[in-house]
Amino acid sequence: MENYRVSRAELERAADTVSREMIDLAMSAYLAELAEIAATPQGLDAQRQSQRPDCYQLAKEGIAPEDLRAHLQQESERLKQLQLAQFDLAYFRRWALRFRRDLDVSDCAEAAALSTSLPRAVGRRAVAGKSVAPGSC
């Protein structure tokens, strides 16, 4: 369980770092587009080919930089939570498989204890109390 916590914490830190970098890159591109628009005499009406068409479209829609940053942070947090949930599901799937394997060993031991092929001298009750080594069935 400890490895799980460390791995999950590492995943969360990595997701936060990637998120910050992604938001910074997007905001830099948007602010550069806004500066380019401001430097053009016709502003948004200029017939030009933008190197950042998505940013140009956002500028045409009048999206404020702080609103864009807030939206990106919200979407990034949502994506991080989905990634963590996916990590949790994978962890519990591995845990369930390990638990199922343990149950299979337990069932194997019980089947061996109830087997009619055991020598009469041993007896079923005596065998039921003994453990069977994993993988011996």
Residue 6: the pLDDT is: 61
Is residue 106 assigned to a domain? no
Is residue 86 assigned to a domain? yes
Q: How many domains does the chain have?
A: 1
Supply the DSSP symbol for 25.
H
Is residue 122 assigned to a domain? no
- Cα–Cα distance for residue pair 127/109, rounded to 1 Å: 9
- Residue 57: φ, ψ to 5°: -65, -40
Contact 59, 45 (CB under 8 A): no
Contact 137, 111 (CB under 8 A): yes
Is residue 58 assigned to a domain? yes
Is residue 131 assigned to a domain? no
Residue 21: the pLDDT is: 96
Residue 53: the pLDDT is: 83
- Cα–Cα distance for residue pair 50/55, rounded to 1 Å: 9
Residue 134: the pLDDT is: 57
- Cα–Cα distance for residue pair 12/18, rounded to 1 Å: 10
Q: How far apart are the first and last CA of the chain?
A: 28
Residue 100: the pLDDT is: 83
Is residue 30 assigned to a domain? yes
Is residue 111 assigned to a domain? no
Structure tokens, 133:
């080594």
Domain with 40, as residue range(s), is 2-92
Number of H helices, E strands in the chain: 4, 0
pLDDT in tens, the chain (137 residues): 455 556 888 889 999 999 999 999 999 999 998 998 888 877 766 666 777 888 888 888 999 999 999 999 999 999 999 999 998 898 888 888 888 888 777 777 777 777 656 555 555 555 555 555 555 55
- Cα–Cα distance for residue pair 35/28, rounded to 1 Å: 10
Is residue 103 assigned to a domain? no
- Cα–Cα distance for residue pair 74/81, rounded to 1 Å: 11
Residue 4: the pLDDT is: 58
